[in-house]
Structure 1
């Protein structure tokens, strides 16, 4: 039996996928402690190792180097590379968007191709399985839009900055993104009004009210430190309008949430159309959805009048691991690519 373990080291959580003979058998996600110290990665890694079998070849991708616990992205890559090499062995491999999987000794000179390359691993695997399509990974904080054609990922941008310029990365997701990043005005009670430039509520509150947020998608503390039921989410959303929740009935707050969800989808759709036209993707090329917010990718496919396929559908995967496999696509991708 050939076993491989894929790791995706993010600033908010760590994801781990195990594959045996090319089949994904288990996937887990471990939140990083909310502390301003690189040790948060060590703690999450130790927690993962307590519950996961570690025999097999390890492959790593990351976005955690962007965390503000590091003085620079280069320092973040160096820290995370050293941590994994020390913990999972000297033969641990790291994903480079230029060279594929490389050894730790090569990372120092190629750190810019290793930094935040997890999207490329996922899109590369999708292209191997599907040939043509648009890979859409909607996570807690970002949305990746990667066209692939003739079996290869066709991203123009290589760094996060370049990808944001090209419309291949939108720095907004379905959980941690502040509502004020999605819209500055909203209709409410028959009038258009401004939205506060404060982090009173996040998109997790929005999608709880629309009923679309998966129950395990938001392990983070709320903006006001209170709970996560519908009334508490409505209270936080009301603050975005400078109001209390009892100023309107619950239906009004749900309507506001649906409006904000549509505004987020509008932006994703606009960038997706540009990328589809740029690559001349055929009409039947599907949207491949991944991430905890892939319900947004499903809505996008309908707007674009394209087929939708879940990331877990295009890989060989145990039934009880499918939900997490689609949520943790980069970890799954490097586990299978190794």
Structure 2
């Protein structure tokens, strides 16, 4: 089929993967704050144009229809289908979840199947490659938890509303989620301190304080619009506890941040445990770690007593692109699925 591009059009990022001979050979993430206007997608597509020009076919999946730029999901999906069709022309093939791929006309007719079904592509690919597995894709905004058994995706919900009740969608992200959405209190100098219910700090701040390098993956503005040093992140987290950064030591703030991270991991662990109760997976079935939070998924796999395999290893990503293949798993997945069709 030649070179196939996979696009995952989100509300915060555009992710693009190139696949050749059944292997991901290039993967890139571009900031795309869609809530600020459709021109942001135009800019992201322009930035990715050099990659897209190499492809003979383009496989497209999306979650950007959820952006509050649009009054509802239908409008969002139809708008994005139209804009991407204009940009990519006859090369565009849209992922429609359980219905597979279709043309722009098919996508308009089945827009409900186009929007927010990127998780099905990654889970389907994992099922084909491993037979039985539990996918945990921990991204900047959400965590998808999907089982595959006998090479077939075992899904109990298709919409966000359904999946938020089944445990298959945990709405918490590695970087973008507000701290107030993760924990209600944190330990500080021997006491539990209630956290402010204000958008003062994000999980990116928490992870910076814990020593995680986010330079390449945290592409959006901070809660206060200021910098992304550990010191500036500490200032923001301190405000959550009603304090200034100088009120505590580095160890104090690391302890508070570690607790917030732990609360987030528990929420994903609980979702995974819930999915596993109905999936009937073999004990040896691995957890496929995907998303920018794949390293944390490894920790969750350890707690669940299952082996972990990074998505990039599963798809044999080209050297130098292992990190981004794992981080942008749906874009790689739709490209590989279309390439094999």
Q: Which runs of 5+ in 1 are unaligned?
A: none
Residue 86 of structure 2 is matched in structure 1 by 86
- Per the TM alignment, residue 34 of structure 1 is displaced from its structure 2 partner at its CA by 6.5
Residue 207 of structure 1 is matched in structure 2 by 207
The whole-number CA distance in structure 2 between the counterparts of 1:119 and 1:337 is 13
The whole-number CA distance in structure 2 between the counterparts of 1:218 and 1:96 is 29
The whole-number CA distance in structure 1 between the counterparts of 2:337 and 2:324 is 18
The whole-number CA distance in structure 1 between the counterparts of 2:124 and 2:313 is 16
> What is the CA RMSD across the aligned residues, in angstroms?
1.3
The whole-number CA distance in structure 1 between the counterparts of 2:320 and 2:229 is 27
1:49-77 CA distances to partner (integer Å, 9 max, x unpaired)? Answer: 14553331111000000011111111111
Aligned: 1:107 with 2:107: yes
The TM-score, its normalising length taken from structure 1, stands at 0.97
1:200-224 CA distances to partner (integer Å, 9 max, x unpaired)? Answer: 0000001111123543110111111
The whole-number CA distance in structure 1 between the counterparts of 2:51 and 2:128 is 31
- Per the TM alignment, residue 288 of structure 1 is displaced from its structure 2 partner at its CA by 0.5
- Per the TM alignment, residue 90 of structure 1 is displaced from its structure 2 partner at its CA by 2.5
Residue 328 of structure 1 is matched in structure 2 by 328
The whole-number CA distance in structure 2 between the counterparts of 1:42 and 1:116 is 20
Residue 257 of structure 2 is matched in structure 1 by 257
The whole-number CA distance in structure 2 between the counterparts of 1:138 and 1:301 is 13
Label 1:215 to 1:91 Cα distance change in 2 as closer, same or farther (>3 A): closer
The whole-number CA distance in structure 1 between the counterparts of 2:170 and 2:274 is 13
How many pairs are equivalent? 338
The whole-number CA distance in structure 1 between the counterparts of 2:67 and 2:328 is 19
Residue 45 of structure 1 is matched in structure 2 by 45
Residue 318 of structure 2 is matched in structure 1 by 318
- Per the TM alignment, residue 287 of structure 1 is displaced from its structure 2 partner at its CA by 0.9
User: 3-state DSSP class of the match of 1:89?
Assistant: helix
User: 3-state DSSP class of the match of 1:119?
Assistant: helix
The whole-number CA distance in structure 1 between the counterparts of 2:163 and 2:213 is 26
Residue 60 of structure 1 is matched in structure 2 by 60
Residue 71 of structure 1 is matched in structure 2 by 71
- Per the TM alignment, residue 86 of structure 1 is displaced from its structure 2 partner at its CA by 1.2
Task: Name segments (4+ residues, structure 1) moved above 2 Å.
Answer: 33-36, 50-55, 212-215
